[in-house]
Chain A
Amino acid sequence: MALWVDKYRPKELIGKDGVDFHLEQANHLKFLSGDCMPHLLFCGPSGAGKKTRIKCLLRELYGVGVDKTQLIMKPFTTPSNRKLEIQTVSSNYHVEMTPSDVGIYDRVVVQDLVKEMAQTSQIEASSQKSFKVVVLCEADSLTRDAQHGLRRTMEKYANNCKIILCCESLSRIIEPLQSRCIIINVPAPTDEEMTSVLMKVIQKEKLEMPQNILQKIVEKSEGNLRRAILMTEAIKMENENGISTNAQIPVPEWEIYLQETARLILQKQTSEVLLKVRERLYEVLSRLIPPNIILKVRIVITASLKSKFNFQKLLEHLLPSCPESIVREVVSEAACSEHRLVMGQKAIYHLEKFVSSFMDIYLTNASKPK
């Protein structure tokens, strides 16, 4: 009983089990795998199918052999003689790991383990491809040191080791790495594509689902297919006696918590509220919710709440210019905070910066003479 997310994951690039969307890209990938494959850099939002495409590509390259994987803890030694381990999944043909798991020692992983992998050439070179593949996940959390280390490794062992990087945002990958790879952009599926995938899953599971619920799931998934399928499975588990048209769609509690926090911010803009909000943010952070998601969710929520609010005000006071100006300011403030989140270390500072900026903008706007 695997999760549906894994159960209905496409196995091939093209064909009966092929991927459901971005077909042109799939053809392109198949073409790339046919001859001498270059280094690849997959990027795109979460839940768009990057990993799925990588798996399909590997299968295209090596056949079903790549599905026989092993979970191995690989030991390595840092220059300061610390012995560490990193989790890898490997088959005879490829190895997959997340070097950023080991924090600042990712450079050692990238250089030593990848080198080790690259130096041993493929068995049965005649019948198979002449190279191995190293998949590095979350490449955007690699330190700069590691990225520079990778640059050299990529060039030196290009013949018998191809590297596939997987990341969400290109902006955190250094330029030299980008130029050494072919960038495969995997955009989020459209609502129609998402609906069709969900329909397929529902049919295979012989699940009865009202159309409006399906629509709601697509809306709430925010272009994240993984989330959509998880939601579908969760709603099935919640309503074992069949899904009614007014069934609740399960949303992780932290999102609701953040919504409440946003409402709190809108209600009153004082330093007491600020302290309360800070406590709430700590609470969310402690559940390891990535801070940039907190910020993003917050923007979406505040923006929607605000537009509603401004809409009312708009009718009352006929002041079309005012809400526009505040939206612009808030968004630029949020962009600045997000940038600093990436650069800095203490997430709470930057989140609080956004909260206080929003409060200030909001307050100044509200106290403006009508």
Chain B
Amino acid sequence: MNDNDLLTNETAPKRRDELQIHNKKLGEVSNWLKSAFSEDHSAPGVLYLTGPTGSGKSTSVEVLCKEKNIELIDYTPELLHDDFLEYEKHDFSQLIRFLIRRHASLMGGSKKQILFVTELPDQSYQDAERFREEMYEALHRIRHPVIFCLTNDIACWNLNPDKLFTREFIRKADISTITFNPVADTFMKKALIRASNLLPSPLSDTKLNIIKEEARGDLRTAMNMLQMNSVGLNANRRTGMKVICASKANKEEAFHMLGRILYAKRVNPNAPKLTRFSQKRRSSVPIPEPTERTDLENDPSDIITMSSMSSGKLVDFLFENEPVFCPSISNYRRVVDMFSLCDVLAGDWNTARSFPDEYAAQIATRSVMWNNFQGSRPKTMFCIARPTEKDLEKQMTATRNEIRRLPMIGNKHFSSLDAPYRGIIENITDPQRIELFLGRPMEIGWKLGKDRIEELIDGRHYIAYKGRKHPRKARKNATPLVVKQAEEEDETYTIEDSSDDSFDEF
């Protein structure tokens, strides 16, 4: 192996089965490639391929094209000098010339060629309107299929290709779109294992797991980290968990967006800086204080797109942090009403499919931004809290599974009714028992985690509840296991299959 090359290039997949991308996505790309060269197509197709960095966009295209014997022609802006030896600006004309030109094959045999555009001239980001107009023209005159392969999780909205390729434009210009997702954990792990095995000294499994966690769905970062941790004379000098991490700069981007939603800043007409909106107001009566609703500083739709979070996750975050920002209870009532509606929309499979993906996020965001007008603002920097819901759900599922292992059928009210009473009736003191776990005193919070809770209950020797006067100490000679056997039953069954074993398990 050549030490000088990047692992990202070195271990790049060469065959389709080496690609660690979801088959569905690969299928989409492959189908598009097929249809782009089908006979009955009058105009060559255009594809807008997006996704976060390192999600395998260009690699998939490269591998699939190689497999189908298609030649990819990359677009590289040339740096030219004019008569006065000044750089000629890299502008639309170059890109358009590239798009509408007839390209000769470099490889001779292959007839199929695809134009592969991985960057756009700066000018296009400055003037999106014109970009769309010129593109619309140019795309009518192309002779080869075109793929625009662009990263869309760029922190700065002005440089985000989604700003250029609006839905309206995509529809009008008849562009197909495929969006890649961040690489899933299982795929990431497989890719890492494959790459690691190509190394002279493969990394340990724990290290690979850490890299997987850190990379957050970015394969390129993952490979770079792999390389950083394996090169050098003594590759395995770092033992155990120690891994050099390359963190992404825009990890906190989503949090900026949450801040924007929660603070819901509005344009202040008194602000010294002139904006598009304030100029309009100037001409009318100047308002000293923004007592009424002015326009929002940021457009909610942009924020949602930029946060690159799923609807559910976004609503979770907003729900967790909203009470701090909301001006009054009645406003909060309206907001929570919307949250609960969002949950219903997402949960019901009748409606979930008929609405666009971000519908719930749109409702929630707009409702928060509208209601947070003149709301309370934290004095200092506010730390956005993680949604507690997730952890709680995890613990609840674990507990639920444990209950399911008890030998009984269909007792919905076991946890609310049977468990607390049974605790009293049978005087349960074994901290491992689920009844005691469910009926534990309220001050032993769930956040402590199951092990800690069991420890705490163990120290008490009895279940305390309000109104219980004489907590009894545990009877030393009680033999709970034997007694329990039959009582556990919800109905009076005679159990032929001894349930003793199932108890020993927990």
Distance in angstroms from B492 CB to nearest chain A CB is 5
- A98's partner among B410, B417, B442 (CB-CB below 8 A) is B410
Residue of B nearest to A287 (CB): B438
Interface of chain A residues 84 through 101 with chain B (CB within 8 A): 87-89, 96-98, 101
CB distance from A10 to the nearest CB of B (A): 11
B466 touches A256 (CB 8 A): yes
Whether A271 contacts B442 by the Cβ 8 Å rule is: no
Kindly state the separation between the CA atoms of A3 and B418 in the bound complex, as whole angstroms.
Answer: 10
Q: Counting CB contacts under 8 A, is A172 at the interface?
A: no
Structural contact, A69 and B495, CB atoms closer than 8 A: yes
Given the contacts A234-B421, A343-B344, A69 and B494 also touching, CB distance less than 8 Å: yes
Binds A, one of B64-72, B80-88, B391-399: B391-399
Contacts of A251 in B (CB 8 A): 465-467
Docked-complex contact B469 and A3, CB < 8 angstroms: no
CA separation between A44 and B470, bound complex, in Å?
A: 37
Contact A286 B395 (CB under 8 A): yes
Are B339 and A349 closer than 8 Å at their CB atoms?
yes
Is A269 close to B, CB under 8 A? yes
Flag whether A227 is at the interface (Cβ < 8 A): yes
Residue A274 CB within 8 A of the other chain:
yes
Given contacts A89-B409, A356-B333, is CB(A252)–CB(B491) below 8 Å? Answer: no
Q: For B324, what are the chain A residues with a Cβ–Cβ distance below 8 Å?
A: 271
B418 cross-chain contacts in A, Cβ below 8 A = 230
Task: Please pick, from A6, A68, A254, A285, the residue contacting B491 in the complex, using a CB distance under 8 A.
Answer: A6
Known interface pairs A87-B404, A286-B396. Does A344 touch B492 (Cβ–Cβ under 8 Å)? no
Alpha-carbon gap, A340 to B343, bound state (A): 8
Known: A227-B417, A283-B442, A285-B392. A234 touches B347 (CB 8 A): no
Q: If the complex has contacts A96-B409, A226-B417, A230-B418, are A252 and B396 also in contact, measured as CB distance less than 8 A?
A: no
Contact partners of B336 in chain A: CB under 8 A: 349, 352-353, 356-357
Q: Does B400 sit within 8 A of A, measured CB to CB?
A: yes
Query: Inside 8 A of B2's CB, which chain A residues have their CB?
Result: none
**A174 neighbours in B (Cβ, 8 Å):** none
Interchain CA distance A58-B497 in the complex, whole Å: 21
A2 within 8 Å of B by Cβ? Answer: yes
Segment 5-51 of A: residues with Cβ below 8 Å from B: 6-7, 9, 46-47, 51
Report whether A363 and B446 are in contact in the complex, using a CB–CB cutoff of 8 Å.
no
Closest chain A residue to B404 by CB distance?
Answer: A101
Check A290–B333 contact: CB distance below 8 A.
Answer: no
The count of A-to-B residue pairs whose CB atoms sit within 8 angstroms is: 223
Tell me, yes or no, whether A306 is within 8 Å of chain B by CB: no
Q: What residues on A are CB-neighbors of B333 within 8 Å? A: 353, 356-357, 359-360
Q: Given the known A-B contacts A271-B326, A288-B399, are A87 and B392 also in contact in the complex, defined by CB atoms under 8 Å?
A: no
Q: A256 — which chain B residues lie within 8 A by C-beta?
A: 465-467
Complex Cα spacing A189 to B469, Å: 31
Chain B residues within 8 Å of A234, by CB? 421, 424-425
Judging by beta carbons under 8 Å apart, are B323 and A271 in contact? yes
Let me know if A257 is at the binding interface, CB within 8 A: yes
Interface hub of A98, A249, A346 (most chain B Cβ within 10 A): A346
Q: Are B417 and A230 in contact (CB under 8 A)?
A: yes
Whether B407 sits at the interface, judged by CB under 8 Å, is yes
Interface residue? B307 (CB, 8 A): no
Centre residue among A55, A97, A274, A337 by max chain B CB count within 10 A: A274
**Given contact pairs A253-B465, A271-B323, A360-B330, A282 touches B388 in the complex (Cβ within 8 A):** yes
| Interface core residue of B337, B440, B445, B470 (most chain A CB under 10 Å) | B337
Residues of A in contact with B, size category: 35 or more
Interface hits, A32-81 → B, CB 8 Å:
46-47, 51, 55, 67-72
Q: Is A162 an interface residue (CB 8 A)?
A: no
CB–CB A138/B491 < 8 A = no
B286 at the interface (CB under 8 A from A): no
State which of B337, B376, B416 has its C-beta within 8 Å of the C-beta of A254: B416
Min CB distance, B322 to chain A, in Å? 9
Distance, CA A284 to CA B393, complexed state (A): 13
B394 CB to nearest A CB, Å? 10
* Cα-based distance from A21 to B27 in the complex (angstroms): 64
Which chain B residues border A359 with CB–CB below 8 Å?
329, 333
**Across the interface, do B417 and A356 meet the contact criterion of CB distance under 8 Å?**
no
B318 CB to closest chain A CB, in angstroms? 11
**B244 within 8 Å of A by Cβ?**
no
What mask results when residues 227 to 246 of chain A are scored 1 for a CB within 8 Å of chain B, else 0? 10011011001100000000
Per the 8 Å Cβ criterion, residues 280-335 of A in contact with B are 282-283, 285-290, 293
Contact of B412 among A283, A290, A340 (CB under 8 A): A290
Q: Is there an interface contact between A271 and B332, defined as CB atoms closer than 8 Å?
A: yes
Known A-B contacts: A9-B491, A227-B421. Give 18 more (CB < 8 A).
A2-B489, A3-B425, A6-B491, A70-B496, A71-B407, A230-B417, A230-B418, A234-B425, A248-B469, A250-B465, A271-B376, A274-B332, A283-B446, A285-B392, A286-B399, A337-B340, A343-B347, A356-B329
- The 3 closest A-B CB pairs, nearest first, are A137-B410, A286-B446, A252-B420
* A to B CB contacts below 8 Å, 10 in the list: A1-B487, A51-B490, A71-B497, A89-B409, A248-B468, A250-B468, A257-B442, A271-B324, A283-B442, A288-B415
Listed in ascending order, the chain A residues whose CB lies under 8 Å from chain B are: 1-3, 6-7, 9, 46-47, 51, 55, 67-72, 87-89, 96-98, 101, 137-138, 141, 144, 166, 168, 224, 226-227, 230-231, 233-234, 237-238, 248-254, 256-257, 269-271, 274-275, 278, 282-283, 285-290, 293, 337, 340, 343-346, 348-350, 352-353, 356-357, 359-360, 363-364
